[in-house]
Structure 1
Amino acid sequence: MLSLAPQALVTPEDRERGLTLLVREAAFSGGTAALTTGVILTAFALHLGASNVMIGVLASAPFLAQLLQLPAIGLVERWRNRKAISVGTSLIGRAMLAVMAVLAFFVGTGPLLIFLAAQVVLCGLGAIGACAWNAWMRDLAPEDRLGQVFARRTAWLTAISVVLGLVAALALDRTAPGSSARDWVFAAMFGAGCVTGLISARLVACMPEPLMPPAPGPVNVGELVRQPLRDGNFRRLLVFVASWQFAINFATPFFTIFIVRQLRFDLSFVVLLSVLSQIANILALRTWGTLSDRYANKSVLAVCAPTYIVAIVAMIGASQFGSREIVKLWLVLLHVVMGASIAGVTLTSTNIALKLSPKGSATAYVAANAMVTAVAAGAAPIVGGLLADVFAARKIELIARWTGPGGVFALPITLTHWDFYFLIAGMIGLYAIHRLSLVEERGEIERRAMVGQLLVETRRTIRNISTVAGLRAATDLPGTLLRDARLRTRLRRAQQAKATRESEVT
Structure 2
Amino acid sequence: MLAPQSSVTEGELRRGLRYLLVDASFATAIGALNSGVVLLALALHIGASNLEIGLLAAIPLFTQILQAPAVTLVERLRTRRRISVACVFVARLALPVYAAVPFIPDRGLAAGVLIAAALLHYGLNAVGACSWNSWMRDLVPADRLGRFFSRRTMYGTAVSALATVGGALALERAGSDRATGDYIFATLYSFGFVCGLVSTAALARVPEPRMPASSESVPIYRLLAAPLRDRNFRSMLGYLASWQFAVNLATPFFTVYFVRELGFSMGFVLVLSFISQIANLAVIRGWGVLSDRFANKSVLGVATPMFILCVAAMAFASEVEGQTLRAAYLVVLHVLMGASGAGVGLASGNIVLKLSPPSGATGFMASNAMICAVAAGIAPVIGGWASDFFAARQLSLALRWASPSGASEFGVMFTHLEFFFLISAMLGFNTLYRLAMVQEPGAVGSRQVVAHILSATARTLGNASSVSGLRNAMVFPGGELIKLRELRIPLLTNLQHIVRERFGWGSRESVLGSMIDASYEMPEPEPSLEDLLARLK
Pick closer, same or farther for the CA change 1:407–1:204 going to 2, 3 Å: farther
Encode CA deviations 1:261-310: one digit per residue, 9 max, x unaligned: 11222222222222222222232234335555666544433332222111
How far 1:50 moved relative to its partner? 1.2
1:479 paired residue among 509, 519, 523: 509
Encode CA deviations 1:150-207: one digit per residue, 9 max, x unaligned: 7765565444333222212212223445432222211121122223334444455566
**RMSD of the alignment, in Å?**
4.1
User: Aligned pair 1:411/2:410, yes or no?
Assistant: yes
**Aligned equivalent of 1:228:** 227
Aligned to 2:411, the other structure's residue is in SS state strand
Pick closer, same or farther for the CA change 1:304–1:402 going to 2, 3 Å: same
Q: Tell me how far apart the structure 2 counterparts of residues 295 and 213 of structure 1 sit (CA, whole Å).
A: 39
Aligned to 1:398, the other structure's residue is in SS state strand
**Conserved 8 A contact 2:28-2:156:** yes
State the one-letter code of the partner of 2:521. R
**Aligned equivalent of 1:436:** 435
Q: Tell me how far apart the structure 2 counterparts of residues 433 and 8 of structure 1 sit (CA, whole Å).
A: 50
**Aligned equivalent of 1:124:** 123
**Conserved 8 A contact 1:73-1:364:** no
Question: Larger Rg: 1 or 2?
Answer: 2
State the one-letter code of the partner of 2:509. G
Moved more, 77-86 or 51-60: 77-86
Moved more, 272-281 or 478-487: 478-487
**Aligned equivalent of 1:387:** 386
Q: Tell me how far apart the structure 1 counterparts of residues 194 and 74 of structure 2 sit (CA, whole Å).
A: 27
Pick closer, same or farther for the CA change 1:40–1:389 going to 2, 3 Å: same
**Aligned equivalent of 2:25:** 27
State the one-letter code of the partner of 1:99. V
State the one-letter code of the partner of 1:266. S
Q: Tell me how far apart the structure 2 counterparts of residues 269 and 7 of structure 1 sit (CA, whole Å).
A: 51
**Aligned equivalent of 2:269:** 270
User: Aligned pair 1:334/2:333, yes or no?
Assistant: yes
State the one-letter code of the partner of 2:370. M
Aligned to 1:30, the other structure's residue is in SS state helix
**Conserved 8 A contact 2:2-2:81:** no
State the one-letter code of the partner of 1:30. T
User: TM-score, structure 1 length as denominator?
Assistant: 0.78
**Conserved 8 A contact 1:135-1:362:** no
State the one-letter code of the partner of 2:270. V
State the one-letter code of the partner of 1:488. E
User: TM-score, structure 2 length as denominator?
Assistant: 0.74
Moved more, 136-145 or 251-260: 136-145
Q: Tell me how far apart the structure 2 counterparts of residues 427 and 208 of structure 1 sit (CA, whole Å).
A: 50
State the one-letter code of the partner of 1:479. E
User: Aligned pair 1:65/2:63, yes or no?
Assistant: yes
How far 1:222 moved relative to its partner? 1.9
Q: Tell me how far apart the structure 1 counterparts of residues 9 and 416 of structure 2 sit (CA, whole Å).
A: 55
2:38 paired residue among 33, 40, 64: 40
State the one-letter code of the partner of 1:60. A
Extract unaligned runs of 5+ from structure 2: 461-467, 469-506, 526-537
Q: Tell me how far apart the structure 1 counterparts of residues 442 and 191 of structure 2 sit (CA, whole Å).
A: 44
Extract unaligned runs of 5+ from structure 1: 457-462, 464-476, 494-506
How far 1:441 moved relative to its partner? 4.5
Q: Percent identity?
A: 44
**Aligned equivalent of 2:424:** 425
Pick closer, same or farther for the CA change 1:416–1:34 going to 2, 3 Å: same
How far 1:254 moved relative to its partner? 0.6
How far 1:40 moved relative to its partner? 0.6
**Aligned equivalent of 2:522:** 489
What are the within-5 Å matches in structure 2 for residues 58-457 of structure 1? 58-108=56-106, 109-135=108-134, 156-205=155-204, 214-289=213-288, 291-292=290-291, 297-354=296-353, 356-357=355-356, 362-402=361-401, 410-442=409-441
Pick closer, same or farther for the CA change 1:417–1:144 going to 2, 3 Å: farther
Q: Tell me how far apart the structure 1 counterparts of residues 205 and 233 of structure 2 sit (CA, whole Å).
A: 33
Encode CA deviations 1:424-455: one digit per residue, 9 max, x unaligned: 22122222233234444455669997998xx9
Structure with higher RCO (Cα < 8 A, 6+ apart): 1
Size of the alignment, in residue pairs? 469
Q: Tell me how far apart the structure 1 counterparts of residues 86 and 449 of structure 2 sit (CA, whole Å).
A: 43
State the one-letter code of the partner of 1:281. N
Q: Tell me how far apart the structure 1 counterparts of residues 154 and 318 of structure 2 sit (CA, whole Å).
A: 32
Aligned to 2:426, the other structure's residue is in SS state helix
